[in-house]
């Protein structure tokens, strides 16, 4: 290897040979002006934030300490699913729900894109750890990026810097495995060329090499495309690790529900992006005596403990929440979390007094700067905040954070909720008949598309376990994995599985269920079912409560709305059958026969 003199490259604060070799290889390919090994310190963070302000990427907020407003390029606002690839060795391993490209060909293409792509820029090397640093088998990664915004965001979202790097070599000198994650905005600078506040490239690739446990991302600065510890590592790559090692990497929040008797229950729940996972994770119950504490709002890694129960850990360190709609009513605890500062707000509106605002937040300003950096007033036709605008805020600031949030052991899960956004058909809550039926519910989950991904909002699509955009391998093999984990487990210790829909609407399109804090009433019923105390009616689709089985005392909505929200309409469900069949046909021959059996049994029960 010819040694190239790039300032900082040789200042590596580690002896890990693979890290050193890989960082050098990337630096020689991308030719940055300098290399910075990120240590995660306060001083470094202050310096990077100041550089981002200088570059115009960040505007410091006057109203919140150590917090910043950022506006992306208007064409770089969401995950790009059509540009996301699973480059497994064999095409059939990516399955029909993913884009596949041959790993060798993809590497050749992207290597040419990466060649010289960091010219004129700083290359940051970010060591990070997904999950608690105290884990015996920490899940490590190195993200290389040429965008300081990514460094600032990774600092919030992951355990990173020197504390993570210290885990790369064990005390006895063994070098641990890590996931190499390469990111570039794809915007090299010519000599003297003026930079833009949000560099990116119209050519984008979000690419995963599952066998190699490696991630290559190019052209986008948006969170889901650039904070590679999140969806790319903790879901797409981790789902493959989990398949191979007998655990689950899921798109799920983790919450702790405490009863008036002070008994704690842990619940994991999967909803597609922008369907209220963060709101549920930080729920403020409306029923007296019940409390919620938060462990995570987006991702859960779950494995069986020695006692046979399923334990969940949140690999993340911060919240990357959808801003619009978040307010003191829908999510007071998120508001309290961001109020403390140390947060990055992307594509929300900037108010004239140096605060942030978005649609749905209290206190509409008379004048503001929109996410497109245009003047905005309440009369403006365009939105002040992009529908997928985000706050990026430290978990540690959440006032209802569960004390065990950083415990490597995780928390034992009593219930798993699957849910989507459906205006019709799917009742407020249904308990599965058993694990396999629950897997069928998850595998056939459907939801109306939201703004979290580029594309048409509102279309109903199947989104198995809310993992459609995040599966690192064949969906049918994933279903098989779920079924076999249940088969091998002690059935009495498995979490019970439920299907929820907060979004059902009446004839006049109004929501039938108030949602938000009132969802605690559904959680209470879920706990009642676990304890064998709550009643339910057996229906063709599973066990469903009547309005009387739920605690709806003091609710504003008429009882008839709740009844309507709970109604199982066999005719509507019969219309669902061919759609499920179509979905299974799309997944192909490998759909486990158990799921076909479930479909046949459902059809029979529907008559
Ligand atoms: O867009 S992200 O992947 O960062 C968040 C989400 O969609 O859940
Ligand atoms: Mn998500």
84 and 163 housed in the same domain: yes
224 CB within 6 A, ligand 1 = yes
Quick one: residue 143, left, alpha or beta (phi over 0 = left, psi -120 to 50 = alpha)?
beta
Whether 11 is covered by a domain: the verdict is: no
pLDDT above 70 covers a percentage of the chain that reads 99
The DSSP letter of residue 453 is: B
**pLDDT of 392 over the 60 cut:** yes
Q: How far is CA 80 from CA 84, 148, 524, in A?
A: 6, 21, 37
Examine the domain organization and report whether 114 and 184 are in the same domain: yes
Q: Is 475:97 a contact under the CB 8 Å cutoff?
A: yes
Tell me if 1 is assigned to some domain: no
Do both 195 and 306 map to the same domain? no
Last residue of a domain, one of 223, 245, 267: 245
- Say if residue 324 is in the same domain as residue 307: no
Was 390 annotated as part of a binding site? Answer: yes
Q: Whose CA is nearest to atom 4 of ligand 1?
A: 224
Q: Which of 256, 186, 254, 263 is nearest to 225 (CA)?
A: 186
Q: Which of 341, 372, 397 is the last residue of a domain?
A: 397
DSSP E strand stretches across 9-109: 34-37, 59-60, 68-70, 84-86, 99-100
**What are the backbone angles phi and psi of residue 207, rounded to the nearest 5°?**
-125, 140
Q: What is the ipTM of this complex?
A: 0.97
Nearest by Cα to 465 from 450, 493, 489, 445: 445
Would you state the pLDDT for residue 454? 74
In a domain, 3, yes or no: no
Atom number of ligand 1 nearest to Cα 277: 8
Q: Is pLDDT of 318 > 70?
A: yes
pLDDT of amino acid 274: 80
Q: Is the pLDDT of residue 459 over 90?
A: no
Q: How far apart are CA 546 and CA 559, in angstroms?
A: 10
Closest Cα to atom 5 of ligand 1? 224
Domain boundary among 222, 245, 268: 245
203/347 same-domain check = no
CATH of the domain at 198: 3.40.449.10
State the CATH number of the domain containing residue 481. Answer: 3.90.228.20
Whether 87 sits among the annotated catalytic residues: the reply is no
pLDDT digits (tens, 9 = 90+) for 131-175: 999 999 999 999 999 999 999 999 999 999 999 999 999 999 999
Do 47 and 107 lie in one domain? The reply is: yes
Residues 423 and 497 in one domain: yes
Half-sphere exposure of 541 (CA within 13 A, CB side): 26
- The reply to whether 454 falls in a domain is yes
Neighbour-count burial for 487-514, b at 16+ CB within 10 Å, e otherwise: eebeeeebbbbbbbbbbbeeeeeeebbb
The CA–CA distances, whole Å, from 297 to 213, 272, 275, 294, 405 equal 24, 12, 11, 8, 12
User: Which residue's CA is the closest to the ligand 1 atom numbered 6?
Assistant: 273
DSSP assigned state of 589: T
Is the pLDDT score of 412 beyond 60? yes
Report how far residue 353's alpha carbon sits from residue 373's, in angstroms, rounded to the nearest whole number: 15
Banded model confidence at residue 4, pLDDT cuts 50, 70, 90? low
The annotation status of 246 as a binding-site residue, yes or no, is no
Pocket residue to mutate for ligand 1, from 320, 323, 324, most atoms within 8 A of Cβ? 320
End-to-end CA distance of the chain: 70
User: What was the pLDDT predicted at 363?
Assistant: 97
The verdict on the CB of residue 452 being under 6 Å from ligand 1 is yes
Mean pLDDT, rounded, for 427-452 = 94
Asked if 117 and 188 touch (Cβ cutoff 8 Å), the reply is yes
> What is the token pair recorded at 415?
């219930």
Q: Residue 331 is part of a domain; what is its CATH number?
A: 2.170.8.10
* Cβ of 231 less than 6 Å from ligand 1: yes
pLDDT band at 3 (very low <50, low <70, confident <90, very high): low
CA 415/CA 294 separation, integer angstroms? 15
Q: Which two tokens stand for residue 487?
A: 């088969």
pLDDT tens digit sequence for 320-372: 999 999 999 999 999 999 999 999 999 999 999 999 999 999 999 999 999 99
pLDDT given for residue 2 in this prediction: 53
Of 104, 117, 169, 167, nearest to 144 by C-alpha is 117
C-alpha distance from residue 6 to each of 29, 34, 114, 120, 123 (Å): 12, 6, 17, 12, 10
What would the mean pLDDT of 412-421 be, rounded to a whole number?
97
Domain interval for residue 375: 319-397
Q: 133 CA to middle of ligand 2, Å?
A: 22
Q: How far apart are CA 311 and CA 213, in angstroms?
A: 24
Measured distance CA(425)–CA(573) in Å, rounded: 7
Q: Could you read off the pLDDT of 342-353 as tens digits, one per residue?
A: 999 999 999 999
In SS3 terms, 126-152 reads as: EEEEECCCCCCCCEEEEEEECCHHHHH
- Number of structural domains found in the chain: 3
Cα radius of gyration rounded to whole Å, the chain: 24
Task: Note whether 499 and 548 are same-domain residues.
Answer: yes
- Statement to judge: residues 303 and 426 lie in one domain: yes
């Amino acid at each position: 290897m010819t040694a190239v003199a790039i300032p900082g490259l040789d200042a590596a604060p580690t002896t890990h040979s693979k890290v050193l070799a890989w960082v050098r290889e990337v630096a020689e390919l991308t030719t940055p002006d300098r290399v910075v090994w990120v240590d995660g310190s306060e001083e470094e963070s202050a310096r990077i934030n100041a550089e981002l302000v200088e570059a115009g990427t960040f505007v410091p907020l006057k109203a919140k300490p150590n917090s910043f407003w950022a506006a992306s390029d208007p064409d770089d606002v969401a995950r790009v699913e059509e540009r996301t690839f699973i480059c497994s060795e064999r095409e059939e391993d990516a399955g029909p729900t993913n884009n596949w490209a041959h790993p060798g060909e993809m590497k050749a293409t992207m290597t040419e894109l990466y060649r010289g792509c960091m010219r004129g820029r700083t290359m940051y090397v970010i060591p990070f750890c997904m999950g608690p640093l105290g884990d015996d088998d920490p899940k490590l990664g190195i993200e290389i990026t040429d965008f300081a915004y990514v460094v600032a965001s990774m600092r919030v979202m992951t355990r990173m810097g020197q504390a993570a790097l210290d885990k790369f070599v064990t005390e006895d000198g063994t070098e641990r495995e890590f996931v190499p994650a390469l990111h570039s905005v794809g915007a090299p600078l010519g000599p003297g060329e003026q930079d833009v506040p949000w560099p990116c490239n119209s050519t984008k690739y979000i690419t995963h090499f599952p066998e190699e446990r490696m991630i290559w991302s190019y052209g986008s600065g948006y969170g889901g495309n650039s904070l590679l510890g999140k969806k790319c590592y903790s879901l797409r790559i981790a789902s493959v690790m989990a398949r191979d090692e007998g655990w689950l990497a899921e798109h799920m929040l983790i919450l702790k529900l405490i009863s008036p008797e002070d008994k704690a229950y842990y619940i994991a729940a999967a909803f597609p992006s922008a369907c209220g996972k963060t709101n549920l994770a930080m729920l403020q119950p409306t029923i007296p005596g019940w409390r919620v504490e938060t462990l995570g709002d987006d991702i859960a890694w779950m494995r069986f403990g020695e006692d046979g129960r399923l334990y969940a850990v949140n690999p993340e360190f911060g919240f990357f929440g959808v801003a619009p709609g978040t307010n003191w009513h829908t999510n007071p605890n998120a508001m309290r979390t961001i109020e403390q500062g140390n947060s990055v707000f992307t594509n929300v509106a900037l108010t004239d007094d140096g605060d942030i605002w978005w649609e749905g937040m209290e206190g509409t300003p008379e004048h503001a700067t929109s996410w497109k950096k245009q003047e905005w007033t309440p009369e403006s036709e365009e939105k002040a905040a992009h529908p997928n605008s985000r706050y990026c805020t430290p978990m540690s600031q959440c006032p209802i954070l569960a004390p065990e949030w950083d415990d490597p052991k995780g928390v034992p899960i009593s219930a798993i909720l699957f849910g989507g956004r459906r205006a019709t058909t799917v009742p407020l809550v249904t308990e599965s008949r058993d694990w396999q039926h629950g897997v069928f519910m998850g595998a056939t989950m459907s939801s109306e598309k939201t703004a979290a991904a580029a594309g048409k909002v509102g279309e109903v699509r199947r989104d198995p376990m809310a993992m459609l955009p995040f599966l690192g391998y064949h969906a049918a093999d994933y279903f098989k994995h779920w079924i076999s984990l249940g088969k091998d487990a002690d059935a009495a210790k498995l979490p019970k599985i439920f299907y929820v829909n907060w979004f059902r609407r009446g004839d006049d399109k109004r929501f039938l269920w108030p949602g938000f804090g009132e969802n605690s009433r559904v959680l209470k019923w879920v706990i009642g079912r676990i304890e064998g105390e709550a009643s339910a009616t057996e229906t063709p689709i599973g066990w469903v409560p009547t309005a009387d089985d739920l605690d709806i005392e003091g609710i504003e909505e008429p009882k008839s709305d709740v009844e309507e929200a709970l109604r199982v309409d066999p005719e509507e469900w019969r219309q669902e059958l061919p759609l499920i069949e179509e979905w299974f046909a799309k997944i192909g021959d490998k759909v486990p026969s158990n799921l076909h059996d479930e479909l046949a049994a459902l059809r029979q029960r529907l008559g």
